[in-house]
Amino acid sequence: MKLVSNVAKLNGKLRVPGDKSISHRSIMFGSLAKGVTRVRDILRGEDVLSTMQVFRDLGVTIEDDGDVVTIHGVGFNGLKAPQNKLNMGNSGTSIRLISGVLAGQDFDVEMFGDDSLSKRPMDRVTIPLRQMGVEVSGQTERDLPPLKMHGSKHLTPIHYQLPVASAQVKSALIFAALQADGESLIIEKEKTRNHTEDMILQFGGNISVDGKEIRISGGQEFQGQDVVVPGDISSAAFWLVAGLIIPNSKIVLENVGINETRTGILDVIKAMGGNIKLSQIDELAKSATITVESSDLQGIEIGGDIIPRLIDELPVIALLATQANGTTIIRDAEELKVKETDRIQVVADALNSMGANITPTEDGMIIHGKTPLHGAEINTFGDHRIGMMAAIAALLVKEGQVSLRRAEAINTSYPSFFEDLKGLIQNG
């Protein structure tokens, strides 16, 4: 696919699609609750559709009239053994969180995914789940998918210190702990996105969170709820960066989720001197309107406990840094290596092939700023965030053409990405 380049400015107002993490979890909690759950503004990206299909395969009735998704919950005891292997597509969130759900089910399942998911380590969830009494096996010593699993109705509660900062591992263990015989203690390495914990409370359950320590008791029941999904800050990130780096631009993003475990990118933009404003802040819905304008930016150091708060935004933050004054150093982000691609290497290769000056490191990148970008052929390797980062980078290009291979990966999290881009260019 040929990407649009050399745009004069971007201008306009838009609403990004619903938050992917919250959309997945709304289907999971809706299925595990008793009664009906109605979800508005859900993301209809391929990852979330995978989660929806898996719960249908597990015997849950889920209807979608194009506006509201209605889930007829069956409770933890109402899931049925699937007739087929469960297809998780490209979605790490689906396979890891659903492993936690199925840990408490006394039937055989097999879970598989696409070429990218088949390279991602599942041992981070299988090791603690085995300790709880689950039979599970994957490929190689890292337990790559496909995973074969047989859960148990008598799971042992777990006391577990997470060796990685991962909301997916935490959430998988919370789902398993909810079905265990007693209280579990899960201790995070760093605080990560807390949508699972928030949703337990929203669905009428109990969970105690004290800093990085999470206590959760088994045998809880949830009641169906009405859920409204805010816009995804990880999708908004592409427009935030575009508005900052394309001259004479102003972009207004309405109804963006601003849960504090996800807003690291806003802190980074402020620290770099970006012109960014929040308005219409809704404390209850944890959402706001965010406005950005083109800015003169300064390189900074990004590391430590902010990393989990912006982990998915680092590819586009790297692009931002190529246009800042001075050098930006990203560290403590080794988790990027086990995403849909090795995002340290793939981001550095893609942007360097366009003329950037990025040195990949073991746990991040060193990015020298103020580098003009030129045309190149970029491959997403099946990673949606690489595709969208390349499409924003292309907007700056004055010489040559940027073409994108495997652009369809973008449908994973943002099917209307190119329509939204067109709107901002036409108003620009």
> Which residues in this chain contact ligand SPQ in the complex, by CB under 6 A?
20-21, 47, 91-93, 166-168, 171, 193, 311-312, 335, 339-340, 385, 413
Distance CA 268, CA 245 (A): 14
CB of residue 223 to ligand SPQ, shortest distance in Å? 23
- Helix boundaries (H) for 284-333: 314-322
Rg (CA), the chain: 21
Known catalytic membership, residue 312: yes
Q: Return the H-helix or E-strand segment holding 418.
A: helix 417-426
CB-based contact 21:193 (threshold 8 Å): yes
CB-based contact 244:295 (threshold 8 Å): yes
Report the residue number whose CB is nearest to ligand SPQ.
92
CB of residue 384 to ligand SPQ, shortest distance in Å? 7
CA atoms within 13 A on the CB side of 141: 0
Degrees (nearest 5) of the Cα angle 60, 65, 70? 35
In the set 41, 57, 312, 383, the catalytic residue is 312
3-state secondary structure of 76: coil
Enter the tokens of residue 234: 């990880």
Task: Give every strand in the sheet of 250-257, ordered side by side.
Answer: 11-14, 250-257, 287-293, 275-282
CB of residue 189 to ligand SPQ, shortest distance in Å? 10
CB of residue 224 to ligand SPQ, shortest distance in Å? 22
- By C-beta, is 3 or 389 nearer to ligand SPQ? 389
Tally DSSP H helices, then E strands, for the chain: 12, 22
- By C-beta, is 34 or 124 nearer to ligand SPQ? 124
Sheet strands (E) in 286-413: 287-293, 301-302, 327-330, 357-361, 364-368, 376-379, 402-405
Residue identified by tokens 């933009």 is 269
CB of residue 426 to ligand SPQ, shortest distance in Å? 28
Q: Please give the C-alpha separations between residue 354 and each of 184, 314, 396, 408, in angstroms, as whole numbers.
A: 49, 18, 11, 21
CB-based contact 38:227 (threshold 8 Å): yes
- By C-beta, is 171 or 249 nearer to ligand SPQ? 171
CB of residue 21 to ligand SPQ, shortest distance in Å? 3
Catalytic residue IDs: 312
